[in-house]
């Protein structure tokens, strides 16, 4: 079954217009999820909003949004008043500029969407190939899901990916976290050991190998519960021993070297068996 588009509109670069559609690129819908139940009856619970002062339930038609101007003091807004602040949606992804790929700080990345043509694929393909050849990404603006958003659009496989961006005020300054880190000076041996460890663990980015151990454990828990089997207790993790940093680097380097020799021995044995 073909995926359903989250949004349809047009991609605009000056006078170039291209009908496009956005599709969810990442979703948590496949994760194991739970509902809240009444322990005594086993029935599912429903959420109910109550007045914080009287404790009485409030009907949906009497619920309005409010903004706290001071402690315990609110001003309320009717739905029509809130709707008046929603920007006009012209269903257009308007590209405002192109920037080099290496200028993007991914701390601003929010949510990715696949961006595909929705009809005329020729202009879409031209734009995509041009961006790929020039190694640039596009910065666009649009009204998505009732909010004015900025998006970063980049070439990906045969199409484009549009990633909504966090606004600058939403991203905390790195100085808040790293500003008071002390400066260290390391000798040549420590830097060489660190470089060796990094080089021995170099690989490729392979999301297929990512393991969501918590979700898998929940699935096993549910299966055991359904089948009436005893529940397995998770293995306790040992606390790592704190040792001298240089000694830890040396031990890691020796361990990686021995692993490398074992792997090479294994490859040679396999070649010998094939040759025989």
How far apart are alpha carbons 142 and 117 in whole angstroms? 17
Joined together, the tokens standing for residue 182 give 């002390």
Please report the pLDDT score of residue 254 as a whole number.
75
Residue 20 and residue 93 in contact, taking contact as beta carbons nearer than 8 Å? yes
Share of the chain above pLDDT 90, in %: 47
Is pLDDT of 270 > 60? Answer: no
Residue 244 structure tokens: 């001298």
Reference 104, options 139, 68, 66, 71; nearest CA is: 139
pLDDT at 271: 55
Q: Which DSSP category does 30 fall into?
A: T
DSSP per-residue codes, 31-57: S-----B-TTT-PBP----B-TTT--B
Q: What are phi and psi for residue 81, nearest 5 degrees?
A: -70, -40
Higher per-residue pLDDT: 260 or 7:
7
Identify the pLDDT of residue 232.
76
Which tens digit of pLDDT belongs to each residue from 126-176?
999 999 999 999 999 999 988 899 999 999 988 999 999 999 999 999 898
Q: Which residue has the higher pLDDT, 193 or 155?
A: 155
DSSP codes, 235-255: PPPPPPPP--HHHHHHHHHHH
- List the structure tokens of 206: 């392979």
Rg (CA), the chain: 28
Among 31, 33, 20, 23, smallest CA distance to 1 is for 23
pLDDT, residue 215, reads: 84
Distance CA 250, CA 156 (A): 41
- Rounded distance between C-alpha atoms, residue 59 and residue 172, angstroms: 38
**Per-residue model confidence (pLDDT) at position 35:** 93
Token pair for residue 81?
Answer: 């008043």
Crossing angle for the helix pair 245-275 and 188-200, nearest 10 degrees? 40
Q: What is the mean pLDDT of the chain?
A: 86
pLDDT score recorded for residue 120: 80
More confident residue, 211 or 274: 211
Identify the pLDDT of residue 145: 86
Q: What is the pLDDT of residues 52-110, one digit of tens each?
A: 999 999 999 999 999 999 998 999 999 899 888 888 888 999 999 999 998 989 999 99
In this predicted model, which residue has the larger pLDDT, 162 or 215? 162
Give CA–CA dist 94/88, Å, rounded. 14
The domain locations on the chain are: 7-27+86-170, 188-202+212-260
CATH of 7-27+86-170, one of 2.40.290.10, 2.130.10.10, 3.20.20.100, 3.40.640.10: 2.40.290.10
């Amino acid at each position: 079954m073909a995926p359903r588009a989250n949004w349809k509109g047009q991609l605009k670069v000056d006078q170039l217009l291209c009908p496009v559609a956005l599709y969810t690129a990442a979703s948590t819908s496949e994760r194991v999820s739970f509902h809240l139940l009444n322990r005594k009856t086993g029935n599912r619970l429903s959420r109910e909003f109550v007045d914080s002062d009287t404790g009485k339930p409030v009907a949906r038609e009497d619920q309005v949004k409010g903004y706290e101007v001071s402690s315990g003091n609110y001003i309320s807004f009717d739905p029509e008043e809130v709707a008046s602040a929603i920007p006009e949606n012209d269903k257009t992804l308007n590209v405002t500029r192109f920037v080099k790929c290496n200028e993007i700080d991914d701390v601003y990345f929010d949510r990715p969407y696949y961006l595909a043509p929705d009809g005329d694929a020729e202009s879409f393909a031209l734009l995509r190939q041009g961006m790929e050849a020039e190694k640039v990404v596009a910065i666009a603006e649009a009204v998505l899901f009732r909010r004015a958003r900025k998006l970063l659009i980049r070439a990906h496989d045969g199409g484009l990916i549009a990633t909504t961006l966090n606004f600058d005020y939403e991203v905390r300054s790195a100085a808040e976290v790293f500003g008071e880190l002390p400066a260290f000076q390391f000798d040549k041996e420590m830097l060489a050991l660190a470089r060796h460890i990094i080089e021995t663990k170099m690989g490729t980015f392979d999301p297929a190998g990512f393991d969501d151990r918590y979700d898998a454990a929940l699935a096993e828990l549910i299966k055991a519960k359904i089948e009436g089997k005893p529940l397995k207790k998770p293995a306790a993790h040992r606390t790592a021993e704190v040792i001298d940093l240089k000694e830890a680097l040396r031990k890691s380097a020796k361990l990686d070297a021995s692993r490398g020799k074992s792997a090479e021995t294994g490859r040679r044995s396999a070649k010998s068996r094939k040759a025989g």
